[in-house]
Structure 1
Amino acid sequence: VGSVAHDFNNLLMILSTNVQIARRRGATGLDRELSAMERALKSGQSLTRQLLGVARKQPLRNETIAIGKWLPACRELLKASLGAKLALNLETSNDVWPVRVDAAELELALINVAVNARDAMPSGGTFSVRADNVRFRHEDGFPIIGEFVQLTLEDTGAGMGPEVLGRAFEPLFTTKSKGMGTGLGLPQVFAFCERAGGVATIDSALGAGTSVRLYLPRASAVVAESPAANHDTAAAGESHGLRVLLVEDNEEVAAGTEALLSMMNHHVTHIFNADGAIAALEAARRDIANGGALPFDVVLSDIHMPGKLNGIDLAEILQSWTPRMPVILVTGYAEELDRARQVDARVLSKPFDIALLDSLLQAIRENLNAHAVNREHGEAPH
């Protein structure tokens, strides 16, 4: 499942970059068609995200969130998922412990359960969400031990019989009619809780509704306030581009990415895999020893590629060099992602919005400019 989703992500990346190219070129008379493609891309991204979540290969961006403040902010999203016929009852308090999770994956889990509840209550009903603190001891006989936040998601729908209930978390199992369900919703919920260090349970009976409980470990760290982003996009567009070494084995993904970067005034050199990139960079290092300079400002590399080395290997090697070269890694799934976080590299998930890559490149450019100023004044670079 993870391999299929990875290949599908590459196809989405090709579509995404070419749609963004068309947008930047100001293609006239195609706005309706491009908008339809962008909607389809979002649906495809959602599907691959669910596939990767079920396969435990979805890249995670864990953060500490205060459930008491975070959950009420999801009210409108849950209402939209439930539709106009259903009532939403949401209960929480500021006393609920913080949890450390991928907020987007938690949001998706709530949506998946809400959509199932909506389909189980075609004539109307109530969907309730409640957050509580719970502690489990060894003698409780529960599969997890410690302090957890319990999110209880209940509906007043038709419920499930024991045969269906026993398969509710099974990937690709669905009782919905063709075209109405993928069988990935509840499996994503289960996989998300498991990867967070918790568990998900489900109770249901015919005519008695359904209750899904998400148990998420209490976070030890306090919630940090996120600093406001402050990017001067106008200045970014006017500044000189970077020399980018693009390492990507998929020719069409590389072509689309290269075209977009070129439109942003960056100078791109494409190499097929990490083995070739190291060979080229080693040759450049020899030139440095003879008074030359590295021909690239940044390396943008896929993680999974044919050859002896992958993108993380490449980043680790470059991390040991002097001078250091910034590396941005791109991945369609999370295999070896923990290792990727240990190297001095930013990680982007395919398919990515070019604006996000642009902000990373802008930060690298500003850092290079600061180092150049320091050298002019005889200061050591930071």
Structure 2
Amino acid sequence: MDEALDLPVAGAAERLLRWLTAAALALPILIFTTASWIAYGNAFSEAHERLHRTLDLMHEHAAKVLETHDLVVEQIDQLTRGLSDADVRAREPDLHARLAKIVRRLPQVSNIWVLDAIGHPLVGSIASPPPQALDLSDRDYVRAHRDGTTPRGQAYIGEVLVGRVFGRRNFQISTAREEGQGGFAGVVAVSASPSYFHDFYGDVVQGGGITTASLMRADGTVLARYPALPDDVTRRSAHGPMMRAIAQSPGRGLVKGRSDLDGVERINAYRRLPGYPIYVTVGIDRAVVIHGWLMLMASHLIFGIPATLGLVALSLVALRRTRREAMAMAALHAEAARRQDMEAQLRQAQKMEAIGRLTGGIAHDFNNLLQIILGSLDLLGRRMANGDERQRRLIENAREGATRAANLTQRLLAFSRRQPLEPKPLDANKIVSGLSELLRRTLPETIQIETVLGGGLWRTHVDAGQLENALLNLAVNARDAMPEGGRLTIETANAHLDEAYAASRVEVTAGQYVLVAVTDTGTGMSPEVMRNAFEPFFTTKEQGKGTGLGLSQVYGFIKQSGGHIALYSEAGQGTTVKLYLPRYTGTEEITEPHAAAPVQADGKTAVLVVEDEEGVRRFAVEALREIGYRVLEASGAAVALRLLADHPEVALLLSDVVMPEMDGRRLADAALKLRPDLKVVFMTGYTRNAIVHNGVLDAGTHLIGKPFTLPQLATKLDAVLKGSGA
């Protein structure tokens, strides 16, 4: 009887186990299939959001760059307005110096030309005087203005062309010069370097999960792209998916399809820049999105299959045990998440120091290698100036690649704040006066600009170019805060921050400062916005109209310069940003920079080269002999000091900074004790702390950074020997 009773129970238990086994197999499959479908949609939704976020950043960057080009073109137009071609040629040295100064301050600008009505250069930023035989009348940007296809007063964006002077690839942003009666008098052309955009887009792509980024004209002409296209691929097809989408939705849009440039199936987002026939585009390969989705599903399978097998094998007991293990796993994940949050905070605090150490560790050796490569290519190029065109093109390609590598190293040093500023004594009133004239010509007429310059203003000691950039950033923010117009006031004054003020702010040092205050009557900020105003990427602007980098860049510059920044704002009343720049109490006079001409030595001046890296030393010796110097060489400090004692005719010491046993700074000190009249120039790819302290080059120190070119070396040594290279 008991056995009979046990049979139905056993059968029921067996049926229950079968149901549980079937459910253990079916439910995970059903859940996994549903989760896969949802994750598939989420993967593409996240890809779209990532595209739009990246497009916002690129749109803001391109808009700022083109605004800067407009400011440059306007400034050049002001310099040449009302001048005849003869007047421009008469003032060519001064105008060339001004144009060269603008190019040095703006990395996105590679050259500036002012052309006459027949396309011949009147003045340029690279060479003085400009090549007289150069004829640019066939260039598209000259024809566009000369033939009237581009309306007067409107900028023309040219195609990417190879320059006829130095062979560099550039595209031109140009406007027409007008005669007194409105006739065509020539062209002002500002060259933009595609490599500048390529490098920026490379940083964006590598850090944002995007695969392509580009800048193109409305007709499909590609101006810059990452990754770079072959030289024979310059334009999108008018029948391709991108151009068809732009025709239907000119402002912005999302495109899915196979690219007509490289044949890859991709999701692209595009947006037109306001006021320009230019688009920025970003894309992500469909295969990348699918791969990410598959990896996510594979990670789920890794956990799901063992769990399912455990359910089948252990039935209800295994199920309860699995639940307990799941709870334990959840607690473990929570603990791991908490630890990750703490580690993330620690990594954020150590990031800048770690990047600085990493950059410094590689910069010295890497720049030495680049110096050997670039220097050898430079000498080879000079000696093959009349050689085979294909060989010269190969040399130029190699030089371009090595230059990009050098620029990458410099960007790493700048990002980690290991690249020195070049502060000079300056009058803040002159900076503000010059900038206010530029702002009056560029800001909307609805904004009234007022400058209040303090009398008897102290001198300050900062990097002039960085100060101008900071004030421009603040002026642009003020413009955006006053869409209906208002008043922008820039004021200078002497200021003193006392001990009480410094005690309430840990980062402030009490003392005397030069105050530059920028005030607007715009919308103002709430207390919550003010607390986050200096945070990178924080912005209150609409999507696509700001990246939140302006104030954080100003903050970083002021702090690195030893100053202080204060923010005062009230919602609906306006905002004041006060920049406290350290007062300069030294005796150095304010000097205006001037352009240096290429030089050739007299063949008699002796130079001692000290470099422990044999390849770099060989190049330096060969380069100096090429320039026309007599050269002695040493691999270390001990040999160098003996040569100085034996050769009193040595006029200049060219020494590496980072060397074993005795660094360049200590060698220079010892050499100057022997020869007080000796000129010293340091060459280095990374200074550590030998001649740079707190991010600033030591006073009175002459430095040329590796890798350098032969003309740069010649100009530097000539300036130092003549006493003008401080």
For normalisation by structure 2, the TM-score amounts to 0.37
Aligned residue pair count: 345
Q: Does 1:361 align with 2:717?
A: yes
Q: Does 1:51 align with 2:406?
A: no
Q: Tell me by how many angstroms 1:8 deviates.
A: 5.6
Of residues 638, 645, 650 in structure 2, which corresponds to 1:279? 638
Question: What one-letter code is carried by the residue in structure 2 that aligns with 1:109?
Answer: A
Question: What one-letter code is carried by the residue in structure 2 that aligns with 1:240?
Answer: G
**Deviation digits for residues 174-222 of structure 1, max 9, x if unmatched?**
24799x8695x64553344345443112345777765432102334457
Question: What one-letter code is carried by the residue in structure 1 that aligns with 2:717?
Answer: L
Q: 1:67 is matched with which residue?
A: 428
Of residues 602, 620, 626 in structure 2, which corresponds to 1:263? 626
Question: What one-letter code is carried by the residue in structure 1 that aligns with 2:490?
Answer: V
Distance (Å, rounded) in 2 between the aligned partners of 1:44 and 1:113? 28
Q: 1:310 is matched with which residue?
A: 663
Of residues 90, 93, 99 in structure 1, which corresponds to 2:459? 99
Unaligned regions of 5+ residues in structure 1, if any? 368-382
Matches within 5 A, 1:2-13: 2-3=356-357, 6=360, 7=362, 11=367
Q: 2:673 is matched with which residue?
A: 320
Distance (Å, rounded) in 2 between the aligned partners of 1:189 and 1:40? 27
Q: Tell me by how many angstroms 1:296 deviates.
A: 5.1
Distance (Å, rounded) in 2 between the aligned partners of 1:263 and 1:162? 63
- Structure 1 residues 280 and 11, CA gap change in structure 2 (3 angstroms): closer
Residues 96 and 149 of structure 1 are in contact (CA less than 8 Å); yes or no, is this contact kept in structure 2? no
Q: 1:377 is matched with which residue?
A: none
Partner of 1:239, secondary structure, is coil
Q: Tell me by how many angstroms 1:277 deviates.
A: 1.7
Question: What one-letter code is carried by the residue in structure 2 that aligns with 1:303?
Answer: V
Partner of 2:674, secondary structure, is coil
Q: 1:218 is matched with which residue?
A: 583
Residues 482 and 521 of structure 2 are in contact (CA less than 8 Å); yes or no, is this contact kept in structure 1? no
Q: 1:301 is matched with which residue?
A: 655
Q: Tell me by how many angstroms 1:239 deviates.
A: 1.4
Partner of 1:312, secondary structure, is helix
- Structure 1 residues 154 and 24, CA gap change in structure 2 (3 angstroms): farther
Distance (Å, rounded) in 2 between the aligned partners of 1:158 and 1:8? 46
CA radius of gyration, larger in: 2
Partner of 1:313, secondary structure, is helix
Q: Does 1:131 align with 2:492?
A: yes
Of residues 145, 149, 173 in structure 1, which corresponds to 2:510? 145
Q: Tell me by how many angstroms 1:293 deviates.
A: 2.8
Q: 1:373 is matched with which residue?
A: none
Distance (Å, rounded) in 2 between the aligned partners of 1:167 and 1:251? 51
- Structure 1 residues 300 and 157, CA gap change in structure 2 (3 angstroms): farther
- Structure 1 residues 228 and 60, CA gap change in structure 2 (3 angstroms): closer
Distance (Å, rounded) in 2 between the aligned partners of 1:115 and 1:18? 44
Q: 2:293 is matched with which residue?
A: none
Residues 454 and 494 of structure 2 are in contact (CA less than 8 Å); yes or no, is this contact kept in structure 1? no
Question: What one-letter code is carried by the residue in structure 1 that aligns with 2:640?
Answer: L
Partner of 2:567, secondary structure, is strand
User: Greater helix percent: which structure?
Assistant: 2
Distance (Å, rounded) in 2 between the aligned partners of 1:18 and 1:326? 26
- Structure 1 residues 116 and 249, CA gap change in structure 2 (3 angstroms): farther
Residues 69 and 94 of structure 1 are in contact (CA less than 8 Å); yes or no, is this contact kept in structure 2? no
Distance (Å, rounded) in 1 between the aligned partners of 2:443 and 2:614? 43
Partner of 2:565, secondary structure, is strand
Distance (Å, rounded) in 2 between the aligned partners of 1:334 and 1:74? 35
Distance (Å, rounded) in 1 between the aligned partners of 2:707 and 2:604? 23
- Structure 1 residues 252 and 5, CA gap change in structure 2 (3 angstroms): farther
Q: Tell me by how many angstroms 1:18 deviates.
A: 7.1
Residues 59 and 349 of structure 1 are in contact (CA less than 8 Å); yes or no, is this contact kept in structure 2? no
Percent of matched pairs sharing the same residue? 23
Question: What one-letter code is carried by the residue in structure 2 that aligns with 1:199?
Answer: H
Distance (Å, rounded) in 1 between the aligned partners of 2:551 and 2:703? 28
Q: Tell me by how many angstroms 1:63 deviates.
A: 3.1
Q: 1:371 is matched with which residue?
A: none
Distance (Å, rounded) in 1 between the aligned partners of 2:673 and 2:567? 49
Distance (Å, rounded) in 1 between the aligned partners of 2:527 and 2:420? 34
Q: Tell me by how many angstroms 1:149 deviates.
A: 2.3
Distance (Å, rounded) in 2 between the aligned partners of 1:347 and 1:252? 20
Matches within 5 A, 1:111-260: 111-114=472-475, 128-140=489-501, 143-154=508-519, 165-169=530-534, 173-175=536-538, 186-203=551-568, 211-220=576-585, 224=589, 226=591, 236-237=599-600, 239-240=602-603, 242-248=605-611, 260=623
**Deviation digits for residues 264-301 of structure 1, max 9, x if unmatched?**
23355665xxxx4213224436xx5xxx5368543222
- Structure 1 residues 322 and 302, CA gap change in structure 2 (3 angstroms): closer
Partner of 1:237, secondary structure, is coil
Query: What CA RMSD, in Å, does the superposition of the two structures yield over aligned residues?
Result: 5.3
Distance (Å, rounded) in 2 between the aligned partners of 1:252 and 1:208? 63
Q: Tell me by how many angstroms 1:312 deviates.
A: 0.8
Partner of 1:300, secondary structure, is strand
Q: 2:321 is matched with which residue?
A: none
Unaligned regions of 5+ residues in structure 2, if any? 1-354
